[in-house]
Amino acid sequence: MGLTEILVHIDHYASSAARLEVAVGLAKRHEARLTGLLVVRHQYPAEAAVVAARDMFEQRVAATGIDGRWLCVDGSAIGAGMAEIILSHARSSDLLIIGQGSGESANVGVPFDLPEFVVMGSGLPVLVVPYAGSFSPVGERVLVAWKAGRESTRAVNDAIPILKLAKRVEILVKNNSEARGEKGEGLGADICTHLARHGVTAKASNLSAGNAPLGDVLLNRACDEGFDLLVVGAYAHGQEDKKELGSVARHLLREMTVPVLLSH
C-alpha cells in the first residue's frame, strides 16, 4: 500500500512554508492528495493571517499540480484543542506532517509538546520537520534506526512506501544478538530480506553508540552522510493512561536537524 492521503499541519510560524514544501514534494512523488489543516481559535489569528496561510497552500498546490484540499477549523467553536483536532483528521490519512516545537511555538498558539501528543495518539506515521532550515526533497536518502521490537517494526513497515522510492536506504542496527539472522549471517539480515521482498534495496550497518546519547549518534550519522530522512520507532513507557515517549524520541524531537519519521 502506498501513500494516498497526506495531512500537513499549517500554522503561522515561519517554518510552515518549509514544512509545506516537504509535504508538497512527498504528495507529488507519491501521487497522493494533500490536505492542509489550519487550526484557529475565534479571532486568533487575524483574518489576514488565515487568508495568507490558505493562499500559500493553494498556490503551492496549484503550481505543483497535485490534488489538494484546504481545511480551517475553529477549535473554540467545536470545543476541542489543537492536538485533538489534528488527530481527528489524521486518522483518515496515511501520513501526518507537523513541525518541531520551538521556543516560539507558543507565540503562534502551537503547544511546544504537540509532536509528542500526535506521535503517541495518531496511530499512523508522523513526519516531524525541524523548525529551522529547508528540507525538500525528503525520502531520497533514508537512515532507519533498527532495534528488534514492536516500535521499530512498526516504523519500518510504515515507511515502506517512502523506502520503495528512495535512492539509498541504510539500516542502522543496534549491535546485539537480536540484530543477527537465524544463522548469524550478518547484522540486520532479516529486516533487509523483509524489505527486499517489498522492492526495497537496503544495507545494514552496525550502530556503535558507546557512551554518547543515542539520539545524537543518529543525528550525527544522518548529517555526516547526507541522509534527508531518519526513521525511528517511538518507544514509550509508563502506565497506559500516563505513557510518555522514551528518552531517544524526546531527544530527537528537541534536537532534530533532519526530518524524522516516528511511529509508535
DSSP state letters, 69-103? EEEEEEHHHHT--HHHHHHHHHTTSSEEEEEPP-T
Q: How far apart are CA 117 and CA 110, in angstroms?
A: 12
Burial code (b: 16+ CB inside 10 Å, e: under 16) for 27-51 equals bebbebbbbbbbbbeeeebeeeebe
In the prediction, which pLDDT does 182 show?
44
Q: How far apart are CA 221 and CA 126, in angstroms?
A: 21
Q: Which of 97, 129, 161 is the last residue of a domain?
A: 129
In the prediction, which pLDDT does 105 show?
58
The number of folded domains in the chain is: 2
**How many residues in the chain?**
264
Q: How far apart are CA 87 and CA 227, in angstroms?
A: 28
User: Could you tell me if 145 and 238 lie in one domain?
Assistant: yes
* 180 strand-pairing partners: 187
How far is residue 116 from each of residues 86, 135, 237, measured CA to CA in Å?
13, 21, 13
User: Could you tell me if 10 and 96 lie in one domain?
Assistant: yes
User: Could you tell me if 124 and 151 lie in one domain?
Assistant: no
User: Could you tell me if 59 and 105 lie in one domain?
Assistant: yes
The tens place of each residue's pLDDT in the chain, 264 residues long, gives 689 999 999 998 888 999 999 999 999 999 999 999 999 987 677 788 899 999 999 999 999 999 999 999 999 888 899 999 999 999 999 999 999 988 665 556 788 899 999 999 999 999 999 999 999 899 999 999 998 889 999 999 999 999 999 999 999 997 654 445 444 346 688 999 999 999 999 999 988 767 788 999 999 999 999 999 999 999 887 666 667 888 999 999 999 999 999 999
- 135, part of any domain: no
In the prediction, which pLDDT does 175 show?
62
User: Could you tell me if 154 and 245 lie in one domain?
Assistant: yes
Q: Which of 108, 129, 150 is the last residue of a domain?
A: 129
User: Could you tell me if 76 and 178 lie in one domain?
Assistant: no
Burial code (b: 16+ CB inside 10 Å, e: under 16) for 216-254 equals ebbbebbeeeebbbbbbbbbeeeeeeeeebbebbbbbbe
User: Could you tell me if 148 and 180 lie in one domain?
Assistant: yes
Range of the domain at 52: 5-129
User: Could you tell me if 167 and 232 lie in one domain?
Assistant: yes
- 63, part of any domain: yes
- 31, part of any domain: yes
C-alpha cell at 192: 533487509
